[in-house]
């Protein structure tokens, strides 16, 4: 495994008493795109939400053991601090409806009352919108409300919002599930470009998407990390029978 | 074989239709009759003078209801100052902590308060403030009206905030924004049109309450701006004048009624307009 | 991305095609010019690289299919690459066989002056060159032309065999050398055959028509 940027050690997660993640130990490499795939209910969303401590917001949820970002033990820190270091984009595009495009992009700073120097806000907004391949389309409409964009554009706005915080890694939880094929293809291309500057961890239920865009793929089933390897190996010579059955289409 | 049955069904259908339209019209009729009568009797009395001058001494004709208008506005303002912060805060709590025991009891208490007779609330305010302070005050009137407005604000806020989708909240939390700031700067703004609408509805509800004011604000012939003094109001004026033997005052009561109805209708309509025009798309 | 991977694969295929062509070229020249060094180099360095390329291209095609689900033209290109890599590797094998016989022959006096074999070789090399060109330019017409030239190669072979048989019958000491010459001829003929394979695959790529084994999809 190349330079890991994020790793878990024997991670267990509970949902109101039920064990949803069983002893997951995994290392996410730096500046690469790691995909996590598996059938519904396998725990992939739970896993990714444990990485930025969103899982514990659910009443009755509990997490055991460790997650490390580089050398920082995330579960000994303030959860809000952790979430500022790790960006997240959700399945349903969720720009803040009362804010303009500009305000949305810079929301991580304004909502957290982080002070910015003069002109810095403009720079941050432009930079992150450019990185999310949205700048050209919205640069003349920055003060319009975010919710008037198309689904694909809204999702890119959410990506820009996450990128604005300059995280080392962003987590994408099925980011294209709610989008049409054209917007999906656009975002897949965007991810290929983005991974050069920020590490990406992607949860997807679309096997073909995992094969197209990722460098490493993890397969999860019933809360366990079944197999984890380079995408090429997983898709040509998977080692575990369950992985093979999933890829071939026997379940999920 | 089929034709006659169809004919009959169409006829019955038409009958029912006419019946429903008629009854609906019938339900609207009283409102229109009231408005018609009040405006007919009250509009002639209203002129600029009526609205800005004070009542004349007993026996003299002329004068106006300026004190009542100012008083009503003051009372509404005091009531809102009490009910809005407390009500919105409670509404926020109820929408966030849906299942806790405290939430259950809070909802129960609010529902009971909503059903309480206005005169009883008036007596309570008398007990709590008038007795303690030793005099009738606008403040006590405001308290009584505030207590009546509170349930509407709480429930309205709770309902509106429950409609804010969870994924908006998640977006904010994922940016590392602490919970309380998420509520203040994301969720409440999303619910703002609904909250404003609920407040306006509350206002229109209390604007015309008379009973609680009888032993709290008490009424005042003079223009009064201090909350620590008794103060006049539109409903009180209407009550007093309507019961007086003077023709002139009775006419003024109609005039005051028109002003009050306009106030109530206006806040009602604005409340609806806020909800429909100011749409926040999720 | 898919486009990049396909480009890389094409480049490897080009490298392999050029190498195979060069090996045939070297083997014939080694025979004509009696250059033993050239022949030995072919047998060691060139063959190793050619086989390596076949494996690399095979793995790359598997990866592309597994990860990118290529369709239509992209799919036909990947399939062509797999087949062509195999064909080119076999052409290399034939060049090796040819070179082995050549090494034997150049150390002995010739049975007869080489006339027909160089002509046949020239024709075979032209066919290989043209099949590779038709792949680079995706020129189906050029590829179609190659299919008929194979008959000429077969004629050459039959003629050379007849001539060599007469030599063997009249003089038993020529048999060993003649057999090696026949081996050279046979390998040239096989190389030309494989070139027509390549041409058939190019037609499939460009037009989607299958023209193998006498079967013809009409456009």
What is the greatest pairwise CA distance in chain C?
65
Residues whose CB is less than 8 angstroms from the CB of residue B154 and which lie 6 or more positions away in sequence, other chains included: B87, B90, B91, B94, B110
Q: Are residues B127 and B214 in the same domain?
A: yes
Angle at the Cα of A25 (from A20 to A26), degrees rounded to 5?
110
Contacts of B177 in chain A (CB under 8 A): 80, 108, 111-112
Domain boundary among B28, B45, B62: B45
Q: Using the beta-carbon criterion (under 8 Å), do C67 and A211 form an inter-chain contact?
A: yes
Q: Using the beta-carbon criterion (under 8 Å), do B177 and A158 form an inter-chain contact?
A: no
- Our measurement of the distance from residue C136's CA atom to the centroid of its chain's CA atoms, rounded to an integer in Å, reads 16
Whether chain C lies against chain A with 3 or more Cβ pairs closer than 8 A is yes
Question: What is the chain C residue with the closest CA to A189?
Answer: C1
pLDDT of A174: 96
Which position has the token pair 């180099």? C41
Phi, psi of B58 (to 5 degrees): -60, 135
Q: Are residues B64 and B11 in the same domain?
A: no
Nearest-angstrom CA–CA distance, B113 and B128 = 16
Question: What is the chain A residue with the closest CA to C69?
Answer: A208
Q: Using the beta-carbon criterion (under 8 Å), do A232 and C1 form an inter-chain contact?
A: no
pLDDT of B1: 58
Count Cβ atoms below 10 Å from residue B104 Cβ, excluding itself.
13
Nearest-angstrom CA–CA distance, B111 and B124 = 18
Chains touching B (at least 3 CB pairs under 8 A) are A
Question: What is the chain A residue with the closest CA to C65?
Answer: A236
What band does B54 get if pLDDT is binned at 50, 70 and 90? confident
Q: Are residues B61 and B182 in the same domain?
A: yes
> pTM value?
0.82
Q: Are residues B34 and B53 in the same domain?
A: no
pLDDT of B2: 63
Q: Are residues B36 and B173 in the same domain?
A: no
- Domain harbouring B65, CATH code: 1.10.3720.10
- Please tell me the total count of domains within chain B: 2
Across the interface, of A85, A111, A145, the residue whose CB is closest to B177 is: A111
Residues whose CB is less than 8 angstroms from the CB of residue A142 and which lie 6 or more positions away in sequence, other chains included: A100, A101, A102, A125
Contacts of B176 in chain A (CB under 8 A): 80-85, 108, 112, 165
Question: What is the chain A residue with the closest CA to B281?
Answer: A97
Which position has the token pair 């026997």? A250
Whether chain C lies against chain B with 3 or more Cβ pairs closer than 8 A is no
pLDDT of B135: 86
Share of chain B above pLDDT 90, in %: 59
Tokens of A210: 């995992």
Q: Are residues B138 and B165 in the same domain?
A: yes
Q: Using the beta-carbon criterion (under 8 Å), do B185 and A147 form an inter-chain contact?
A: no
Instruction: Note down the domain range covering B36.
Output: 3-45
Q: Which helix (H) or strand (E) holds C19?
A: helix C2-32
Question: What is the chain B residue with the closest CA to A114?
Answer: B177
ipTM: 0.92
Q: Are residues B177 and B41 in the same domain?
A: no
Count Cβ atoms below 10 Å from residue C145 Cβ, excluding itself.
15
Provide mean pLDDT across the span B224-253: 88
Contacts of C62 in chain A (CB under 8 A): 236
Contacts of C67 in chain A (CB under 8 A): 211-212, 231-232, 235
pLDDT of B67: 87
Going residue by residue through chain C (219 aa), what tens digit of pLDDT does each one get? 788 899 999 999 999 999 999 999 999 999 888 888 888 888 888 889 999 999 999 999 999 999 998 888 889 899 999 999 999 999 999 999 999 999 999 888 888 878 888 899 999 999 999 999 999 898 999 999 999 999 999 999 999 999 999 999 998 888 999 999 999 999 999 999 999 999 999 998 888 888 887 777 766
Q: Any bridge partners for residue A80, and if so which?
A: none
Q: Are residues B120 and B255 in the same domain?
A: yes
Q: Using the beta-carbon criterion (under 8 Å), do A96 and B171 form an inter-chain contact?
A: yes
Q: Are residues B111 and B130 in the same domain?
A: yes
Q: Are residues B54 and B91 in the same domain?
A: yes
pLDDT of C132: 92
Q: Helix H segments across A165-219?
A: 181-194, 207-213
| Mutation site for B-interface testing, chosen from A94, A155, A163, A168 by largest number of B Cβ within 10 Å | A94
Q: Are residues B181 and B234 in the same domain?
A: yes
Question: What is the chain A residue with the closest CA to C5?
Answer: A212
DSSP state of A170: E
| Mutation site for C-interface testing, chosen from A190, A204, A231, A236 by largest number of C Cβ within 10 Å | A236
Residues whose CB is less than 8 angstroms from the CB of residue C125 and which lie 6 or more positions away in sequence, other chains included: C21, C24, C25, C28
Contacts of B189 in chain A (CB under 8 A): 98
Q: Are residues B25 and B141 in the same domain?
A: no
């Amino acid at each position: 495994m190349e330079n890991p940027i994020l790793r878990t050690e024997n991670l267990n997660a509970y949902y109101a008493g039920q064990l949803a993640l069983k002893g997951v130990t995994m290392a996410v490499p730096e500046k690469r795109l790691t995909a996590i795939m598996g059938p519904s209910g396998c725990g992939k969303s739970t896993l990714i939400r444990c990485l930025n401590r969103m899982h514990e917001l659910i009443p009755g949820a509990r997490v055991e053991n460790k997650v490390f970002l580089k050398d920082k033990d995330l579960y000994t820190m303030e959860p809000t601090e952790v979430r500022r270091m790790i960006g997240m984009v959700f399945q349903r595009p969720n720009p803040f409806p009362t804010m303009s495009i500009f305000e949305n992009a810079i929301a991580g700073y304004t909502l957290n009352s982080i002070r910015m120097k003069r002109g810095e806000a403009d720079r941050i907004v432009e930079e992150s919108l450019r990185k999310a391949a949205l700048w050209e389309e919205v640069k003349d409409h920055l003060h319009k409300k975010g919710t008037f964009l198309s689904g694909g554009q809204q999702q890119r706005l959410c990506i820009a919002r996450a990128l604005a915080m300059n995280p080392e890694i962003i987590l994408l939880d099925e980011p294209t599930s709610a989008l049409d094929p054209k917007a999906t293809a656009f975002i897949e291309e965007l991810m290929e470009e983005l991974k050069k500057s920020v590490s990406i961890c992607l949860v997807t239920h679309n096997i073909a998407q995992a094969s197209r865009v990722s460098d490493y793929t993890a397969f999860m089933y019933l809360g366990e990390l079944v197999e984890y390897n380079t995408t090429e190996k997983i898709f040509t010579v998977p080692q575990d029978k369950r992985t093979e059955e999933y890829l071939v289409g026997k379940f999920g | 074989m089929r034709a006659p049955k169809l004919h009959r069904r169409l006829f019955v259908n038409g009958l029912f239709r006419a019946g429903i339209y008629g009854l609906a019209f019938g339900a609207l009729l009283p409102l229109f009759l009231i408005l018609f009568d009040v405006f007919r009797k009250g509009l002639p009395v209203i002129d600029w003078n009526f609205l800005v001058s004070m009542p004349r001494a007993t026996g003299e004709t002329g004068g106006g209801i300026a004190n009542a208008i100012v008083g009503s506005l003051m009372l509404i303002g005091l009531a809102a100052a009490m009910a809005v912060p407390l009500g919105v805060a409670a509404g926020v709590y109820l929408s966030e902590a849906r299942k806790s025991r405290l939430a259950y009891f809070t909802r129960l208490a609010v529902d009971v308060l909503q059903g309480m007779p206005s005169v009883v609330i008036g007596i309570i305010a008398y007990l709590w403030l008038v007795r303690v302070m030793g005099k009738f005050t606008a403040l006590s009137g405001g308290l009584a009206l505030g207590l009546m407005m509170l349930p509407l604000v709480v429930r309205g806020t709770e309902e509106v905030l429950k409609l804010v989708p969870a994924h908006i909240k998640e977006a904010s939390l994922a940016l590392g924004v602490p919970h309380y700031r998420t509520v203040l700067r994301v969720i409440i703004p999303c619910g703002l049109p609904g909250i404003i609408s609920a407040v306006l509805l509350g206002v229109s509800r209390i604007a015309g309450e008379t009973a609680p004011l009888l032993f709290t604000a008490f009424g005042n012939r003079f223009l009064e701006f201090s909350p620590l003094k008794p103060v006049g109001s539109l409903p009180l004026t209407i009550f007093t004048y309507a019961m007086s033997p003077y023709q002139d005052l009775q006419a003024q009561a109609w005039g005051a009624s028109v002003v009050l109805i306009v106030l109530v209708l206006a806040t009602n309509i604005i409340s609806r307009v806020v909800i429909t025009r100011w749409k926040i798309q999720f | 991305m898919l486009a990049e991977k396909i480009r890389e694969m094409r480049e490897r295929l080009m490298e392999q095609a050029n190498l195979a062509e060069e090996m045939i070229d070297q083997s014939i020249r080694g025979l004509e010019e009696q250059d033993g060094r050239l022949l030995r180099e072919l047998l060691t360095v060139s063959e190793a690289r050619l086989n390596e390329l076949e494996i690399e291209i095979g793995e790359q095609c598997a990866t592309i299919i597994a990860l990118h689900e290529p369709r239509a033209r992209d799919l036909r290109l990947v399939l062509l690459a797999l087949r062509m890599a195999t064909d080119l590797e076999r052409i290399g094998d034939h060049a090796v066989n040819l070179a082995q016989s050549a090494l034997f022959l150049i150390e002995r006096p010739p049975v007869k002056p080489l006339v027909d074999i160089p002509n046949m070789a020239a024709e075979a090399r032209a066919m290989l060159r043209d099949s590779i060109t038709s792949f680079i330019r995706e020129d189906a017409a050029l590829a179609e032309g190659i299919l008929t030239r194979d008959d000429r190669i077969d004629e050459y072979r039959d003629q050379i065999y007849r001539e060599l048989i007469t030599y063997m019958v009249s003089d038993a000491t020529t048999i060993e050398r003649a057999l090696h010459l026949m081996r050279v001829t046979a390998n040239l003929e096989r190389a030309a055959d494989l070139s027509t394979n390549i041409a058939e695959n190019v037609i499939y790529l460009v037009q989607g028509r299958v023209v193998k084994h006498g079967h013809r999809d009409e456009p």
